[in-house]
Amino acid sequence: MEKKLEKIKKHVTECINCELSKTRTNSVPGKGNFKSDVIFVGEAPGKNEDMKGEPFIGIAGKKLSIALENVGITREQVYITNIVKCRPPKNRVPTEIERNTCKNYLKKEIEIIKPKIICILGNTAFNSLLDGKEIIKFRGKLVKKDNQLYFLTIHPAATIYNQKLTTVLKKDIKKLFKLVTEVKDKKEIKIDIEYTS
Ligand code: URA
């Protein structure tokens, strides 16, 4: 399992499949515990992530860490990744072409880790993975699609200047890990939205 992830990491590091490879400093593969029950999926690396080649290490990452620590979880215990693995110039939203070009990396990360729940952080991940819009209206919900569970919450960056949203993120992360425990205990859980394909 670890070896397979290392292989993806190498591919991501060397990837030149889209224009973002020309402007990046480093590509940013997913990072964390390959045995994690949860994969967190953000949008794309920002400036700090691009400099260091690690996901969620800037202010948004700090916000995510705080929400995790609030329920006694460290970053190292989970797996964190992004829809797009290279920084879009000026942190613009990645285009559909960039997202599509990058999507196989995430697909493989998910196949290898087989998380109990994928936690979608913000609109870009919501749109890319579930074709959704306006996560603020759907946050806190549990979704099932193709036998995979997804939990929806806001992007941690949204909490930077908004104390109310900090509380929302903490509340959602708490619910997420309660759901994970219930799934592991094989308890009956309430699915809020089910996609049928
Ligand atoms: N925002 C993201 O969506 N991902 C990161 O890795 C950092 C900030």
List pLDDT tens digits, range 22-42. 999 999 999 999 999 999 999
- How many angstroms separate the CA atoms of 127 and 154, rounded? 12
For range 8-21, the mean pLDDT: 98
- pLDDT over 90 at 1, yes or no: no
Q: Is the CB of 49 under 6 A from ligand 1?
A: yes
Residue 118 belongs to a domain:
yes
- How many angstroms separate the CA atoms of 188 and 191, rounded? 9
Residue 122 belongs to a domain:
yes
The CB density around residue 98, as the number of other CB atoms within 10 Å, is: 21
Domain that holds residue 109: 2-189
Closest to 109 in 3D by CA, of 6, 14, 197, 27: 6
Number of structural domains the chain divides into: 1
Query: Which ligand 1 atom is at minimum distance from the Cα of 122?
Result: 3
What is residue 189's predicted lDDT score, i.e. its pLDDT? Answer: 95
Judge residue 140's burial from the number of C-beta atoms within 10 Å of its C-beta, 0-12 exposed, 13-18 middle, 19 or more buried: middle
Residue 195 belongs to a domain:
no
| Ligand 1 pocket, mutate which of 26, 27, 56 (most atoms under 8 A from CB) | 56
Residue 194 belongs to a domain:
no
When pLDDT is cut at 50, 70 and 90, the band that residue 2 belongs to is confident
| Ligand 1 pocket, mutate which of 20, 41, 43, 80 (most atoms under 8 A from CB) | 43
What is residue 196's predicted lDDT score, i.e. its pLDDT? Answer: 80
pTM across the whole model = 0.97
What is residue 165's predicted lDDT score, i.e. its pLDDT? Answer: 98
What CATH number does residue 170 fall under?
3.40.470.10
